[in-house]
Amino acid sequence: MTTMARRIAGTGSFYSAVVLLVLFAAFPFYWMLITTFKQDGDLYNLQSIPYWFNESPTMEHIDYLFTDTLFLRWLGNSALIGVCVVAITLVVSLPAGYSLARMPGRAAENLGIGIFLTYLVPPTLLFLPLSRVISLLGLQDSLWSLVLVYPTFTIPFCTWLLMGFFKSVPREIDEAAIVDGCTMVGAFVKTILPLSLPAILTVIIFAFTLTMQEFVYALTFISSSDQKPITLGVATDLVRGDVYYWGELMGAALISSIPVAIAYNLFLDRFISGITGGAVKG
């Protein structure tokens, strides 16, 4: 009976912890959902229960978001920036990570650490010199300035991540491909890349997520509403002085977060495989 009681207590504790974790993770989405469809009177009534609808739900916040703001344009800008930055990141970080993984000696490890440390430099220290670069290139107030700047923090992190993954791939695979007549580049393209799909998917998700959540560079380089990404457009056009459009803010946050959440859940297994692929030798 003692063993059974301990087993029941352990199982109950486990599922209780899981339920608490799920509630903690899902609560922001629930809060955004009910705030999006609440009437203004329900939102600002201090006597109302904040966790449920005290008045009938409304679509006025969604209507305002799509008809009176450039929300769809902001989403399109963020998607364009994300796709371009992901492409640039893959083109640079894949060969860089592979080269560092195959470089002999401790120089590659030290170089990889140095590259990762550049990712840790805060944007608040870099936006001033980068603004000078953007000015010299004539890209002020253009979303292409963000396409140029965002790889400065996606490439170092993704290179370091890929380096750890490529170290877990046996060198014998490269050598066998070269013996069969491939060049070093051919061996990388034909044998290593197909094995690295989990890591590539991880890089894509990370790079796209980093661009979607960045705010400092966007605020520095973009001022026109039609050029803003979603993070900047929502924060600046839906907050006017001390007036917060809470329904529209929560609606924009909910709509823009759903695709990212779906992508993480659909590719969760490959994502975890890419993250942990270099754990043994990385």
CA distances in angstroms from 183 to 144, 160, 179, 191, 197, listed in the order given: 36, 24, 9, 11, 21
Q: What pTM did the predictor assign?
A: 0.82
Q: What is the mean pLDDT of residues 242-266?
A: 84
Q: Tell me, what amino acid is at 102? A: R
Q: What value does the CA radius of gyration of the chain take, rounded to a whole number of Å?
A: 24
Q: What is the pLDDT of residues 27-39, one digit of tens each?
A: 988 999 999 999 8
Q: What is the pLDDT of residues 125-148, one digit of tens each?
A: 888 888 888 988 888 889 999 999
CB 69 within 8 A of CB 237: yes
Closest-CA residue to 163 (of 31, 48, 279, 6): 279
Q: Tell me, what amino acid is at 127? A: F
Query: If DSSP codes are grouped into helix, strand and coil, which group holds residue 70?
Result: coil
Q: Which residue has the higher pLDDT, 126 or 71?
A: 71
Residue 220 has pLDDT above 50, yes or no: yes
Name the pLDDT band for 280 (thresholds 50, 70, 90).
very low
| Tokens encoding 40 | 């203004």
| Tokens encoding 102 | 């195959």
Query: What pLDDT score does 157 carry?
Result: 85
Query: If DSSP codes are grouped into helix, strand and coil, which group holds residue 235?
Result: helix
pLDDT over 90, % of the chain: 24
Query: CA 256 to CA 248: how far, in whole Å?
Result: 12
| Mean pLDDT rounded to a whole number for the chain | 84
pLDDT over 70, % of the chain: 93
Query: If DSSP codes are grouped into helix, strand and coil, which group holds residue 239?
Result: strand
Residue 74 has pLDDT above 90, yes or no: yes
CA distances in angstroms from 67 to 63, 72, 248, listed in the order given: 6, 9, 11
Residue 190 has pLDDT above 80, yes or no: yes
Among the ranges given (21-30, 170-179, 263-272), the one the predictor scored with the smallest mean pLDDT: 263-272
Q: What is the mean pLDDT of residues 174-181?
A: 81
